[in-house]
Amino acid sequence: MLGSIIFTILLIIAGVFFARNVKKISYNIKLSKDVDRSDNKDKRLRNMIRVALGQGKMLRRPIAGFLHIIVYVGFVIINIEVLEIIIDGITGHHRIFSGLGGLYNFLIGTFEILAFLVFLACLIFLIRRNVIKIPRFHKPEMRGWPFDDANIILLSEVVLMSAFLIMDASDYILQTRGVPHYVEAGAFPVSSFLVPFLDGLSTESLIFLERTMWWFHIMGILAFLNFLPYSKHFHIILAFPNTYFYNTNPKGKFTNLEAVKEEVEKMFDPNFDPYAAPAEGEEQAEPERFGAKDVLDLTWKQLMDAYTCTECGRCTSSCPANITGKKLSPRKIMMDVRDRIEEVGEQIRKEGIDKKEFNDGKSLLGDYITEEELWACTTCNACVMECPVNIEPLSVIIDLRRYLVMEESKVPSELAGMLTNIENNGAPWQFSPTDRLKWAEEA
């Protein structure tokens, strides 16, 4: 009874703490500008099922994709076993679903096989990162916490799966010995291989071992849950909404700035008088920043992208600018956005100020992301195509470049000439429109 009370209290504390951290992330995302992603609901749902649920883009890299699917499927299905452990912990029962009979045996056997496969997959992932040293895991932005974060999660998975199998092996021996409370239920195709190593222990030692592994396993899962909001592995939760709210427009189609679009449309209206006073009751549109200088200028989807980033590096390893040695790394762009919104959101919450009044003397552009990184981008969309959870680093890059061009008038010299030609001649070339066909006359 006491154990059930302690377990319930710990479960509530873990749930409250997790909800509190999720609320912080939600608050940070809502600090951004709005963007409408309510169209094409059927298309969005199909994309979410294919990409997030079906892991549709993972197998583009077969080895990593296959291993990730094993971990993903294991994570999802083994949660059924976690549900039983939670109910057992609250009620004081042991294997409360054992009444399912043959189905229960099948489920436990499946859980064990998946736990072993997850164990192997995580070991291989650790070897790929730390022994083979796959290049995309050792880029400059991955030094320190980002690299440690991945290792912590992988090691945690290895330990949790080990605890689960040791718990089952102890339970199986106790069942065969007819110990009260340990009902005969479950199939143990993997943990049975551990029985010879534990069979020499006394019944009391086995009960202690089984209970220790039970508590370690479930407390480890609750700790893992509360580690997610501090980790790149929060994508486990955000991958689904992020793939649902993806950009359904054709790749490469840029968004229009409404303020600019309205002015251009007025200029093409033959009845428009630029010197006329606004009509009575007509509100003058409040000027907005062109592009983005800081995270508060970005949209909620761009901030959700940042929190969804898995830091897998597929975007960076496919980026032609990065491959040729330039400073740009699409993964770093999203990591910088996440770090900056965490900093901004924390200060706004603590100081209780309106986001429009926020100014800490820093900005995403300049203090986190340099102009050199932005102008290295070729806008080829390789990063967008490769991302397994439909993140769009390019949209952030374009908004930051818009700010540089339209508000700071900062462009590389090569682009300055092109933009001047477009303004004067209506084309990137330095020839007048009337002279463009002269080459044909000379031919």
Quick check: 286 pLDDT over 70?
no
Q: What is the pLDDT of residue 277?
A: 61
Q: Is residue 363 domain-resident?
A: yes
| Any domain includes 441 | no
Q: What pLDDT is attached to residue 328?
A: 95
The last residue of one of the domains, among 179, 214, 244, is 244
The total domain count for the chain is 2
Q: What percent of the chain has pLDDT over 90?
A: 62
* Alpha carbon distance 420, 433 (integer Å): 14
**Average pLDDT value for the chain:** 89
Report percent pLDDT > 70 for the chain: 96
Give mean pLDDT, residues 241-258: 87
Q: Quick one: 177 and 93 in the same domain?
A: yes
Q: pLDDT digits over 156-174, tens only? A: 999 999 999 999 999 999 9
pLDDT in tens, 196-226: 999 999 999 999 999 999 999 999 999 999 9
Please state, in angstroms and rounded to a whole number, the distance separating the CA atoms of residues 146 and 159: 20
Residue 415 maps to a domain: no
Which pLDDT value is given to residue 406? 87
The mean pLDDT value for 272-287 works out to 60
Residues 325 and 217 occupy one common structural domain: no
Higher pLDDT, 308 or 95: 308
Q: Which of 36-50, 87-101, 127-141 has the lowest mean pLDDT?
A: 87-101
Per-residue pLDDT tens over the stretch 307-325: 999 999 999 999 999 999 9
CATH of the domain at 339: 1.10.1060
Within a 10 A sphere around the Cβ of 439, how many other Cβ atoms? 9
Q: Are residues 118 and 183 in the same domain?
A: yes
**54, 259 contact by CB (below 8 A):** no
331 and 231 housed in the same domain: no
Asked if pLDDT for residue 96 goes beyond 70, the answer is yes
- My answer on whether 237 and 295 are in the same domain is no
The CA-based dihedral angle spanning residues 22, 160, 58, 325, taken in that order and rounded to the nearest 10 degrees: 80
Instruction: Please give the average per-residue pLDDT across 88-93, as a whole number.
Output: 88
Average pLDDT over residues 354-368: 90
Residue 271: inside a domain: no
**Displacement of CA 132 from its chain's centroid (Å):** 25
Residue 132 makes CB contacts below 8 A (sequence gap 6+) with: none
Does residue 428 surpass a pLDDT of 80? yes
* Residue 196 and residue 302 share a domain: no
pLDDT in the model for residue 78: 81
Do residues 110 and 175 share a domain? yes
7-19 pLDDT, tens digit per residue, is 999 999 999 999 9
Q: Which domain holds residue 14?
A: 2-30+61-244
Residue 431 falls within a domain, yes or no? no
At residue 304 the predicted structure's pLDDT band, cuts being 50, 70 and 90, is very high
Q: Within this chain, do residues 129 and 9 fall inside the same structural domain, yes or no?
A: yes
Q: Is 114 found in the same domain as 13?
A: yes
User: Does residue 273 have a pLDDT over 60?
Assistant: yes
Are residues 240 and 293 part of one domain?
no
Final residue before a domain boundary, out of 188, 212, 244: 244
What's the pLDDT band for 394 if we cut at 50, 70, 90?
very high
Residues 370 and 312 placed together within one structural domain of the fold: yes
Q: Tokens in use for 92?
A: 């004081």
Residue environment code for 277-286, b if the CB has 16+ CB neighbours within 10 A, otherwise e: eeeeeeeeee
Kindly state whether residue 98 falls inside one of the protein's structural domains.
yes
361 domain residue, yes or no: yes
Same domain, 324 and 378: yes
pLDDT at 438: 77
Cα distance between the two ends of the chain: 97
Backbone angles phi, psi at 359, to 5 degrees: -160, 110
Name the pLDDT band for 29 (thresholds 50, 70, 90). Answer: very high
Identify residue 373 by its one-letter amino acid code: E
- Residue 38, domain member (yes or no): no
Q: Whole-prediction pTM value?
A: 0.88
